[in-house]
Structure 1
Amino acid sequence: MRKPWRRNAVWTMVILGLVVSGCSPGAAGGKEANSAAPAAAAATVSKTGYPIVEEPIKLKMFTRIAPVNGPFKDMPVFQDYGALSNIEVDFIETPTDGFQEKKNLLFASNELPDALFRSSLTPLETIRYGTAGQLIPLENLIDDYAPNFKKLLDEYPEIRSGITTPEGHIYALPAVVTLGAARTDKKWINQSWLEKLNLEEPQTTEELYNVLVAFRDQDPNGNGEADEIPMTARASAGSGQGIPVVNMMSGSFGLDQQLGYNINLIDNQVEIWMGSERNKELLVYLNKLYNEKLLDPEVFSHTEAEYLAKQASGKTGFFFDQTNNPFLDIADQYTGIAPPEGPHGDRLQSQGAPVARDFGAFAITSVNKYPEATLRWIDYFYSVEGSTLLRFGREGEHYELKDGIPYYKEEFLKSGNQAKITPYAGGGAPHLISDQVASYINPPQVQEAQEKLDPHMPKVRYAAPMFDEQTAQRVNILRNDIDKYYEEQSTKFIAGAQSFDKWDEFQATLKKMNIDELQQIYQDAYDKMEK
């Protein structure tokens, strides 16, 4: 999964000015405090076993609280882990709305907590505040005080490359998603409609087109009305993450999404494909679907709630989602399929998050007197035991084990209180998401859908690289213009508001926007990652 940082450009530039002009003495003081703090705390920290410290300590952590959450202090994970670790955490809870602004002001004022939990720090923020001395580097502490996270770094080297600054520092930890099914949107097709119309699962983009035509014309839901939606997808969030329907279908045209962007990696060469002929072929295909009312006319405008309602309605033929949760009541109606093979033989599952997802989920500040103990505290959640407690609560009360896998108890599911007991609900929590703790999002139907995708996934999904601050600002400027232009023009091409006769002009404009410079920046970053 990778979080966009470009939308915070104005804020972060303001913060930089504040840090440089008004807060640098405080930041420097933070560095001095940090240099003295480890020696005072190290002797009391156990590197293995529990409690982490013999004498209780208290930490303040700034965190985002989602609307679905209950108070963190009431969550069993923090109550039980506090008793186990001998570390009490006082969470400074900030609602999702307004969280970014309050986080910015936190650093601008230099009124820092001990750590940031579920903090959604962007790469640019991480480098900026780390360079300013407000966040401490963690790379030298990880070996001794984060054995679970260290094991993941060794098993998945792409995690380290995705969280390490050009200077070699790790200032923030991500969520780690080793479960492939938690990093992909599945391709769900209406199996009951296929059976009624005596159709096979489509194996190619041409076969998919023919199936969608049948869904449109042959009344597969049998109500005598032309109310079927042959194909739909999420609407764009307008955050530089592309157009979802383009992302979902790009792999059939040989277009990957590496390094957190529209990038193919071919023989270690970075290729931004937005102006390529393959991308044109993809947009022509989607335009054909749109013009023939095979692609939802609301695909660029409907809300998330409306999209989920379409899944649950049973009137949709083909769509994309990570799990089957939105359509559980009619789950038997759908099955997952493999990416359809495109006109050049491509069958790539291009969409998907990297193993290091939710970048900047946890960081330790320079005012923290117990950095070793704090790192050991968070490391627990990168274990199966810790992530189970974080996500499922207490065994016997909230969940039960079946073949070693935790499942919410039926009576607890009926209570509807799952989101109240875990910071996982609402996203962005620093922890391990593996097949051992993902029963709620990875039931058998989802596992089967993922198995259809697995043969077509790249061996490594590279996360967005970390740039030095100057380069990050340049990337921010370039992508602000390029991404907005690409999304606007691609939407017009698909919807038929712009003729493909304008393709040469489109390519030329991308050139004028310095897309080649952007490509070289990503190439340089990739080369450093591979050294």
Structure 2
Amino acid sequence: MNKGVAKKAISGVAAAGAAAMLLTGLSACGQSTAANKKTSDGKPIVTILVQQNTTQIPIGQMTWAKELEKESGAKIEWKVVLDTAWSQQKNAALAAGDLSDLNIRAYHPDDASQNPDAFEDLSQDMDKLPNVEAFFKEQPVAKKFVEVEGHLWVLPSSRGKAFSASGQHMLINKTWLDKLGLKVPTTWKELTKVLEAFKTQDPNGNGKQDEIPMNLRALPTDQLAGWWSPFLFMNSTGIATHFNSGPSGTGIYVKDGKVGNMMQTDEFRQVLNYLASLKKEGLVPDDWVTSDKYDSRNQVGGNTAQVGAVFGWDATAFGTVGSDLYNQYITIPVPSADGVSSDDTVWDASGVSGANEYEDYHMAMSSKAANKDACLKIINLLYSEKYSVQQLYGSTTDGYLEKTGDHSYKVTEKFVEERDAQKTPALEDRLAGWIPDADEFEGDKNLTSIVEADKPYAEQYSHLNGEKDYMPIYVRLSAADQTTYANNNTTIATTAMPLIAKMAQNGADDATWNSLQEQLKSMNIQQNVDLWQKAYDKYVK
């Protein structure tokens, strides 16, 4: 599924049902004995673990999955595990070497590099995986994303070129702007004036001063930033974030090929002071730093909006595509910081780097799989166009997806209705497959929405100097360096985040700022920068 759907609350009833499947599945998800790896009529048995969420029907009930089983000639035992449970189960499975034959969206390349004996090195099997080979030929960055010292323990996914859009956007209520006769702000000063008008001039027209000029997402406690972070304002200063994935969430950035940590920059201090000024003027919620009301403040329902501006995925932050609230919002380029020209202002590089299109943990095979040839045949089928598109949008047999040409498809209203009802008959973004560049889709309102949401950033993307200004998704630390980096970050987050939260609310005065800088130095932040510089220099040619 797409990220907009990922934001929906988990259904308790569905969670209970999936938990029951988890208990049933995991009891048998390890390696079976050789004797029971074939059916009574001689078919090879292949166990496939799939990490799903509760908005999807179990994969074994999806028609395309039943057709895959028939075409593969194997008996597939599907094992569903919930997102919420897998984070606890994964380490235990790795420690025991107890992997299912195939594993979808379960193990990262880093997991495999630290437990290489548990995983099949698929680089040795490419003669039986022509669809994967075609994937890597057309989209070589996908291979670089998962390859570790020549090994391919895990295969990536690609949702297709449409998802090269970023998952990070700035949205503003265009209905409010029009009512108040205001233009889209292009600088922080203009943004502040717009937010002040949102606060005082009753733009939602209900006669109450209940507007939230800008709704900010709470700061995490375990790292600096993540999805829809207020620190997307760093892009206003010319330092590009990359918050969909990678080390940007811990402050790592790249500028002109040089790695640094944004927490040590004057630009970061400038952003902290701007955030504090918004709080001082009552233009953001007083409790935004720790509040869990980000989503509820956005999605008030009806047609009376409460929020003026926000960082989010797209206008689905406020309601489903086409709803009254959805239609009030547009995405806008991030306004430039004080003293920064529009030519130097950039935008989050998650989209242009491929971090929204690709994921690196979508197919892993156990080195102990008894029916290796059957497993490889299933992998190759999953990475065919035929099954990739159905993993993304549901079965063609059931009428969820219609084939309209050689590489063209129509997503039907039937699929949209099922997805909106949180009974999605497909894996969506969890697919173990790839969507070729030639493929075109119509009818997916969510896909159209995210593509349109990203268009206003074309100019700011052009200000990025390619991979000299962001960390490419394929750059990775060695296993030893990853451990060092993670240990340092645990200490940094515990100490630094309370100070950062304080400054985001009250301003970065000299004493607090200097204290932060001294503590960062003492907690080996430079070592983290050096590790990522070493990795960047190794992978970026």
Q: Hey, what does 1:209 align to over in structure 2? A: 192
Q: Hey, what does 1:495 align to over in structure 2? A: 505
1:430 counterpart = 2:432 = yes
Stretch of structure 1 that moved more, 489-498 or 286-295: 489-498
Q: Hey, what does 1:507 align to over in structure 2? A: 517
* Rounded Cα–Cα distance in structure 1 between residues aligned with 2:364 and 2:345: 39
Question: How big is the shift at 1:260?
Answer: 2.9
- Contact 2:101/2:365 (8 A) holds in 1: yes
Q: Hey, what does 2:48 align to over in structure 1? A: 61
- Contact 2:186/2:336 (8 A) holds in 1: yes
- Contact 2:157/2:359 (8 A) holds in 1: yes
* Rounded Cα–Cα distance in structure 1 between residues aligned with 2:419 and 2:530: 53
Name the SS for the 1:260 alignment partner.
helix
- Contact 1:234/1:307 (8 A) holds in 2: no
* Rounded Cα–Cα distance in structure 1 between residues aligned with 2:453 and 2:104: 33
Q: Hey, what does 1:361 align to over in structure 2? A: 362
Q: Hey, what does 1:474 align to over in structure 2? A: 484
Amino acid at match of 2:158: V
- Contact 1:187/1:449 (8 A) holds in 2: no
Question: How big is the shift at 1:160?
Answer: 3.2
Q: Hey, what does 2:532 align to over in structure 1? A: 522
1:279 counterpart = 2:280 = no
Relative to structure 1, the CA distance from residue 517 to residue 490 in structure 2 (aligned partners, 3 Å threshold; closer, same or farther) is: same
Stretch of structure 1 that moved more, 329-338 or 229-238: 229-238
Instruction: Pick the aligned partner of 1:334 from 310, 315, 329.
Output: 329
Name the SS for the 1:179 alignment partner.
helix
Instruction: Pick the aligned partner of 1:248 from 225, 228, 232.
Output: 232
- Contact 2:188/2:336 (8 A) holds in 1: yes
- Contact 2:213/2:309 (8 A) holds in 1: yes
RMSD over equivalenced CA pairs, Å: 3.1
1:421 counterpart = 2:408 = no
Q: Hey, what does 2:286 align to over in structure 1? A: 297
* Rounded Cα–Cα distance in structure 2 between residues aligned with 1:317 and 1:402: 41
Deviations 1:22-81 (A, max 9, x none): xxxxxxxx9xx9xxxxxxxxxxxxxxxxxxxxx953311222232223222111221122
Relative to structure 1, the CA distance from residue 360 to residue 200 in structure 2 (aligned partners, 3 Å threshold; closer, same or farther) is: same
Q: Hey, what does 1:386 align to over in structure 2? A: 387
1:350 counterpart = 2:337 = no
Relative to structure 1, the CA distance from residue 180 to residue 231 in structure 2 (aligned partners, 3 Å threshold; closer, same or farther) is: same
Amino acid at match of 2:229: V
- Contact 2:163/2:451 (8 A) holds in 1: no
Q: Hey, what does 1:175 align to over in structure 2? A: 157
* Rounded Cα–Cα distance in structure 2 between residues aligned with 1:310 and 1:486: 34
Relative to structure 1, the CA distance from residue 444 to residue 107 in structure 2 (aligned partners, 3 Å threshold; closer, same or farther) is: closer
Relative to structure 1, the CA distance from residue 238 to residue 428 in structure 2 (aligned partners, 3 Å threshold; closer, same or farther) is: farther
Higher relative contact order (CA 8 A, sep 6+): 1
* Rounded Cα–Cα distance in structure 2 between residues aligned with 1:114 and 1:412: 32
- Contact 1:290/1:296 (8 A) holds in 2: yes
Q: Hey, what does 2:313 align to over in structure 1? A: 322
Amino acid at match of 2:331: G
Amino acid at match of 1:348: V
- Contact 1:401/1:407 (8 A) holds in 2: no
* Rounded Cα–Cα distance in structure 2 between residues aligned with 1:110 and 1:226: 59
1:86 counterpart = 2:51 = no
Q: Hey, what does 2:28 align to over in structure 1? A: none
Instruction: Pick the aligned partner of 2:256 from 235, 256, 267.
Output: 267
- Contact 2:51/2:104 (8 A) holds in 1: yes
Question: How big is the shift at 1:475?
Answer: 1.0
Relative to structure 1, the CA distance from residue 256 to residue 88 in structure 2 (aligned partners, 3 Å threshold; closer, same or farther) is: farther
Structure 1 spans left out of the alignment, 5+ residues = 2-29, 34-54
The TM-score with structure 2 as length reference comes to 0.78
State percent identity of aligned pairs.
22
Q: Hey, what does 1:9 align to over in structure 2? A: none
Amino acid at match of 1:363: A
Structure 2 spans left out of the alignment, 5+ residues = 3-30, 34-41
Relative to structure 1, the CA distance from residue 416 to residue 287 in structure 2 (aligned partners, 3 Å threshold; closer, same or farther) is: closer
Counterparts of 1:52-131 in structure 2, within 5 Å, are: 56-119=43-106, 121-130=107-116
* Rounded Cα–Cα distance in structure 1 between residues aligned with 2:422 and 2:384: 21
Stretch of structure 1 that moved more, 266-275 or 373-382: 373-382
Question: How big is the shift at 1:484?
Answer: 3.8
Name the SS for the 1:274 alignment partner.
helix
- Contact 1:284/1:494 (8 A) holds in 2: yes
Name the SS for the 2:223 alignment partner.
coil
Stretch of structure 1 that moved more, 511-520 or 328-337: 328-337
* Rounded Cα–Cα distance in structure 2 between residues aligned with 1:176 and 1:423: 13
